[in-house]
């Protein structure tokens, strides 16, 4: 059974790109465009891993992360933050909120992202 | 009783008295000798008349009234004269009496023994005897009277009235005794005559005394200023008069001489005093135009006295041209009411320089009301003048400073050594909301302070009070209305000569707006970089996927351009990252977490990243990691630095070259050296190396690759962690050696750095907290 990856990304190009890469790597992928939807899908779809952008409409990635961690049924689903915010404080904040990892999009190719996530999901 | 003789006696007495009174009054206009003479002759003439005709018989007694009238009048007149005029009057009276008596005796001898001129005037030898005794009595009386008065004069305390009475009575009694004894001494009724006569004299003395006393008093008689004979003998000594005159003359002469001496002395004293005080004296005879200048005057100007001018034109010629008109006008500026003048001007000294003098003088006026002479003195006030000018300049400067401080847009507060506000400029009111009146005399900290941690203030006081150094910091303060604001403060202790703190000057600038702007800029940069990165991530991602074959096999022809796009995109991403780093560094928002880091572990992590690049260019990459040297650094930043240096070395080294990273210890520091065999750096470019966006274009003729920010960022990072980054050496075409240093973990330097960092961190956190509170 394929591992389920929920991608929360509001940029169309990037969501398409990551979706394709993850699918090519053998994951089952669902894409949402905001944090609110992400939390909702987490409770419904129960993915094995969430790849979450930060700057998103309605609910930011951080808020979604915070909310998800407050819901007992989904609080154990690992969330990797994948963002273009490269500040150390952002990373610190994400880790404090319980993110599994913090990846900076522009530093990595899609392949590298998939490799890191795959490593974490095991 | 026959009343006629009494009436005659009264008229006679009245007449004589008025004579005495009139003549005495007129004495200032008549010489005294004729006056005395006239009185004497008149009284003697009356005496003759009366003595020839009158005697009052009362019972068996003869009362010699006429002689009494004579004596009474004469003696009292002489007594008054004596009191006011002294011995000379007495002597004159005596001479007159003796002269007239001689004349009378001569007349008696010429006319015979008995001259019967009228029915009742009989001149007999008997009468002559009377006359002899009466003259003798007068002479003795007068002598007695003056001597007795002088004796009594010694008893000042005895009232004048009693003394006058005693003298009159004494004189009368003596007179009566001599006369009665001389004329009637051989008669059997001598005793009766004497007693009767003495009784009459007692009555006369009692009645005369009040009149005399009153007269003497109202005439202004004063015992103390009366010319008194020094000895009794002097009363009768004619020479004493002359002597006293000579003496008086001598005394006057002596007095005048003394006066002259005194005057001369006074003049000398004044001159000495003036010259002693440093004043030079001048004396200008205007009429003859002759100027006399004192020796001191010459000295003041550096001249010898003979070198100085003697005419006013010459003296004025020495005055500074700019002051001359003023000085000359002073000497003409006199009025009747104002005889003095005072002026200050420059006079040329012998060495050619001008000095300031104060000249004060006085005009002397001639009969025509015009000044004929001027006298005065000059004092050197050059130093005072300069001092005054200096003081004025200083106070002007001070005034400027004051105005500047008042107008400054920064808050400026001066506090005394105890920290009490003694001055605050108007900007303080704007920034803090407190009025100056509220702030004065209070501790600034109790007004707008207290927002920082206790340690912060302790440190601040330690710096300014104990270390006596300037304290510069960002601080959060609170306005009177409770609103917090960010400020840059700069507190300097101002020390006295002994190195004690006199007062503190605190300059404070409200940087809340700047802070806000900075924050906005920060946020903008964050957003901008985020927004830039997103499309670049897409480009990079898609190309990498294309190249990775995710979209099917890639035509060989596309591989190179796609790789180039990929590299260009990576460079763009690097640039954005570097720009962000620089802006964060400049904003002081760099996150540094100092830990003990083993360099080896950092380099091992980097090998994976760097080795492929080296392999690509067939460069031999060698790392000598210094046997597990531990530095105190932020691991992430250290990685960035080494990556940058080694990356650069690889970038600029041709195929087949060498790049070596060598770690070694040097005292407290750990040194990392990156050596390459690359293109090297031209000498003229070395200075530009660490600047921002500096790329060395000439390197190997090739296009520079990189953002041009790498070395700048690396150096800033190393410095933040207490180290340094520098170029060791570089030869064009042969290669370069870059080195960085960082404190070794556990050393004193490292510990100090940690403490410093911790404090700054704390401050930042506090600020961040405040910001949250404000927003």
Quote the minimal CA–CA distance from B594 to chain A in Å.
15
Length of chain A: 122
Nearest-by-Cβ selection for A17 from B529, B545, B573: B545
**Is residue B198 exposed (0-12), middle (13-18) or buried (19+ Cβ within 10 Å)?**
middle
Contact state of A111 with B591 under an 8 Å Cβ cutoff: no
Q: In 3-state terms, what secondary structure has residue B536?
A: helix
Contact state of A17 with B538 under an 8 Å Cβ cutoff: yes
Q: Where are the alpha helices (DSSP H) in B185-306?
A: 190-218, 232-236, 238-276, 295-301
Q: By CA distance, what is A89's nearest residue in B?
A: B591
CB B70 within 8 A of CB B39: no
**Can you give the pLDDT at residue B681?**
81
Place of tokens 């946020």: B523
**Can you give the pLDDT at residue B699?**
47
**Contacts with A111 from chain B: Cβ below 8 Å:** 544-545, 548
Lowest mean pLDDT among A22-36, B184-198, B579-593: B579-593
Q: pLDDT band at B306, cuts 50/70/90?
A: confident
Q: How far is CA A59 from CA A37, A66, A68, A93, B108, in A?
A: 9, 10, 12, 16, 174
Lowest mean pLDDT among A69-73, B168-172, B536-540: B168-172
Q: What percent of chain B has pLDDT over 90?
A: 3
Q: What percent of chain B has pLDDT over 70?
A: 75
Digit-coded pLDDT (tens) for B631-643: 888 888 888 888 8
Nearest-by-Cβ selection for A110 from B536, B545, B577: B545
Say whether pLDDT at B201 is over 80: no
Q: Average pLDDT for residues B345-351, to the nearest whole number?
A: 90
**Contacts with B591 from chain A: Cβ below 8 Å:** 88-89, 92
Q: What value does the mean pLDDT of chain B take?
A: 77
- Interchain CB contact of B549 with A (< 8 Å): no
Length of chain B: 775
**Can you give the pLDDT at residue A6?**
95
**Can you give the pLDDT at residue B114?**
37
Structure tokens that stand for A33 in this block: 């465009």
Q: Phi then psi for A108, rounded to 5 degrees?
A: -125, 150
**Can you give the pLDDT at residue B512?**
80
**Can you give the pLDDT at residue A52?**
93
- Interchain CB contact of B602 with A (< 8 Å): no
**Contacts with A106 from chain B: Cβ below 8 Å:** 533, 536-537, 540, 573, 576-577
Contact state of A106 with B636 under an 8 Å Cβ cutoff: no
pTM of the model: 0.46
Structure tokens that stand for B184 in this block: 């009637």
Residue with the larger pLDDT of the pair B156 and B393: B393
Which H or E run includes B100?
helix B87-111
Q: By CA distance, what is B577's nearest residue in A?
A: A86
Give the whole-angstrom CA distance, residue B458 versus residue B469: 14
Digit-coded pLDDT (tens) for B21-37: 666 565 554 444 555 55
**Can you give the pLDDT at residue B3?**
55
Structure tokens that stand for B247 in this block: 């003496």
Place of tokens 């997103």: B534
Q: Where are the alpha helices (DSSP H) in chain A?
A: 12-24, 35-45, 61-70, 88-97, 110-121
Contact state of B573 with A106 under an 8 Å Cβ cutoff: yes
Q: Average pLDDT for residues B646-650, to the nearest whole number?
A: 87
**Contacts with A107 from chain B: Cβ below 8 Å:** 573
Digit-coded pLDDT (tens) for B605-630: 788 778 888 888 888 888 887 677 78
Listed as own residue / partner, the contacts of B266-275 with beta carbons closer than 8 Å and 24 or more positions apart are: B274/B377
**Can you give the pLDDT at residue B190?**
85
- Interchain CB contact of B526 with A (< 8 Å): yes
**Contacts with A86 from chain B: Cβ below 8 Å:** 529, 533, 577, 580
Chains A & B: contacts with CB separation below 8 Å: 62
Residue with the larger pLDDT of the pair B62 and B676: B676
- Interchain CB contact of B544 with A (< 8 Å): yes
Q: Look up the ipTM and state it.
A: 0.92
Please report the sign of the dihedral spanned by the C-alpha atoms of residue B425, residue B430, residue B436, residue B441. Answer: negative
**Can you give the pLDDT at residue A113?**
93
Give the whole-angstrom CA distance, residue B25 versus residue A63: 138
HSE value, Cβ hemisphere, 13 Å, CA-based, for B440: 8
Contact state of A14 with B534 under an 8 Å Cβ cutoff: yes
Q: Which of residues 32-71 of A touch B (CB under 8 A)?
A: 55
Report the residue of A26, A106, A110, A115 to disrupt the B interface, i.e. the one with the largest count of B CBs within 10 Å: A106
Instruction: Write the DSSP assignment of B218-237 as a string of letters.
Output: HTT--TTTS---SSHHHHH-
Residue with the larger pLDDT of the pair B286 and B134: B286
Q: pLDDT band at A8, cuts 50/70/90?
A: very high
Q: Which of residues 79-118 of A touch B (CB under 8 A)?
A: 83-89, 92, 105-107, 109-111
Quote the minimal CA–CA distance from A23 to chain B in Å.
11
Say whether pLDDT at B120 is over 60: no
Instruction: Write the DSSP assignment of B422-470 as a string of letters.
Output: EEE-HHHHHHH---HHHHTTSBHHHHH---S-HHHHHHHHIIIIIS---
Contact state of B548 with A111 under an 8 Å Cβ cutoff: yes
User: Which of A89-93, B513-517, B582-586 reaches the highest mean pLDDT?
Assistant: A89-93
- Interchain CB contact of B535 with A (< 8 Å): yes
Structure tokens that stand for B746 in this block: 């556990």
Nearest-by-Cβ selection for A110 from B535, B541, B591: B541
**Can you give the pLDDT at residue B263?**
78
Give the whole-angstrom CA distance, residue B280 versus residue B542: 106
Give the whole-angstrom CA distance, residue B73 versus residue B695: 147
**Can you give the pLDDT at residue B383?**
86
- Interchain CB contact of B550 with A (< 8 Å): yes
């Amino acid at each position: 059974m394929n591992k389920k990856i929920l991608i929360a990304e509001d940029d169309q190009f990037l969501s398409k790109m990551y979706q394709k890469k993850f699918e090519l790597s053998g994951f089952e992928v669902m894409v949402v465009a905001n944090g609110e939807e992400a939390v909702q899908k987490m409770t419904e779809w129960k993915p094995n891993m969430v790849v979450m952008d930060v700057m998103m409409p309605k609910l930011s990635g951080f808020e979604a992360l915070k909310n998800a961690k407050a819901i007992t049924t989904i609080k154990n689903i690992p969330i990797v933050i994948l963002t273009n915010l490269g500040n150390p404080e952002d990373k610190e904040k994400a880790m404090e909120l319980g993110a599994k990892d913090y990846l900076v999009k522009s530093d990595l190719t899609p392949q590298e992202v998939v490799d890191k996530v795959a490593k974490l999901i095991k | 009783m026959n009343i006629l003789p009494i009436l005659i006696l009264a008229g006679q007495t009245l007449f004589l008295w008025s004579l005495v009174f009139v003549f005495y009054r007129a004495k200032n206009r008549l010489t005294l000798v004729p006056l005395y003479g006239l009185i004497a002759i008149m009284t003697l003439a009356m005496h003759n008349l009366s003595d020839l005709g009158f005697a009052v018989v009362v019972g068996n007694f003869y009362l010699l009234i006429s002689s009494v009238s004579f004596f009474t009048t004469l003696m009292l007149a002489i007594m008054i004269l004596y009191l006011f005029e002294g011995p000379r009057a007495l002597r004159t009276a005596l001479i007159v009496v003796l002269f007239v008596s001689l004349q009378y005796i001569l007349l008696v001898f010429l006319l015979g023994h008995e001259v019967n001129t009228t029915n009742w005037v009989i001149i007999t030898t008997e009468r002559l005897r009377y006359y002899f005794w009466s003259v003798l009595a007068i002479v003795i009386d007068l002598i007695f009277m003056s001597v007795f008065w002088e004796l009594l004069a010694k008893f000042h305390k005895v009232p004048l009235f009693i003394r006058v009475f005693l003298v009159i009575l004494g004189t009368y009694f003596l007179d009566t005794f001599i006369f009665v004894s001389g004329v009637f001494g051989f008669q059997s009724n001598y005793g009766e005559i004497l007693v009767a006569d003495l009784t009459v004299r007692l009555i006369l003395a009692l009645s005369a005394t009040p009149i005399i006393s009153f007269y003497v008093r109202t005439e202004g008689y004063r015992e103390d200023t009366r010319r008194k004979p020094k000895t009794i003998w002097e009363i009768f000594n004619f020479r004493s008069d002359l002597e006293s005159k000579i003496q008086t003359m001598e005394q006057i002469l002596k007095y005048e001489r003394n006066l002259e001496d005194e005057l001369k002395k006074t003049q000398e004293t004044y001159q000495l005093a003036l010259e002693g005080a440093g004043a030079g004296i001048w004396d200008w005879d205007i009429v003859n135009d002759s100027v006399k200048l004192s020796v001191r005057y010459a000295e003041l100007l550096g001249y010898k006295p003979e070198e100085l001018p003697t005419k006013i034109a010459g003296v004025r010629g020495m005055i500074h041209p700019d002051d001359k008109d003023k000085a000359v006008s002073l000497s003409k500026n006199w009025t009747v009411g104002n005889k003095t003048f005072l002026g200050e001007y420059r006079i040329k000294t012998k060495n050619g320089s001008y000095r300031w003098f104060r000249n004060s003088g006085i005009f002397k006026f001639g009969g025509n009301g015009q000044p004929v002479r001027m006298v005065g003195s000059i004092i050197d006030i050059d130093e005072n003048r300069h001092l005054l000018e200096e003081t004025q300049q200083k106070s002007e400067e001070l005034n400027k400073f004051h105005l500047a401080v008042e107008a400054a847009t920064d808050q400026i507060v001066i506090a005394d050594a105890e920290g009490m506000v003694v001055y605050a400029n108007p900007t303080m009111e704007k920034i803090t909301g407190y009025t100056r009146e509220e702030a004065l005399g209070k501790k600034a900290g109790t007004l707008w302070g207290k927002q920082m941690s206790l340690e912060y203030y302790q440190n601040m006081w330690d710096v300014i009070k104990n270390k006596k150094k300037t304290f510069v910091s960002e601080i959060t303060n609170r306005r009177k209305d409770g609103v917090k604001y960010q400020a840059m403060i700069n507190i300097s202790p101002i020390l006295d000569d002994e190195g004690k703190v006199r007062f503190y000057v605190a300059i404070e600038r409200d940087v809340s707006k700047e802070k806000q702007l900075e924050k906005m800029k920060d946020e903008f940069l964050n957003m901008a970089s985020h927004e830039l990165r997103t499309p670049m991530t897409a480009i990079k991602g898609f190309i990498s996927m294309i190249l990775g074959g995710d979209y099917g096999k890639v035509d060989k022809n596309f591989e190179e351009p796609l790789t180039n796009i990929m590299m260009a995109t990576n460079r763009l991403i690097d640039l954005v990252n570097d720009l962000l780093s620089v802006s964060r560094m400049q904003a002081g928002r760099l996150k540094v977490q100092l830990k003990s880091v083993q360099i080896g572990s950092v380099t091992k992590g980097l090998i994976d990243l760097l080795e492929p690049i080296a392999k690509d260019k067939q460069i031999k990459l060698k790392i000598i990691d210094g046997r597990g040297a531990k530095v105190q650094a932020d691991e992430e930043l250290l990685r960035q630095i080494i990556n940058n240096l080694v990356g650069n070395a690889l970038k600029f080294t041709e195929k087949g070259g060498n790049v070596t990273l060598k770690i070694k210890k040097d005292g407290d520091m750990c040194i990392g050296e990156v050596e390459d065999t690359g293109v090297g750096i031209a000498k003229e470019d070395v200075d530009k190396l660490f600047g921002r966006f500096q790329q060395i274009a000439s390197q190997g003729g090739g296009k520079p690759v990189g953002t041009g920010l790498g070395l700048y960022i690396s150096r800033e990072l190393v410095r933040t962690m207490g180290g340094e980054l520098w170029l060791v050496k570089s030869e064009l075409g042969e290669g370069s050696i870059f080195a960085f240093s960082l404190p070794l973990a556990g050393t004193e330097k490292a510990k100090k750095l940690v403490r410093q960092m911790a404090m700054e961190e704390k401050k930042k956190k506090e600020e961040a907290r405040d910001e949250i509170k404000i927003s």
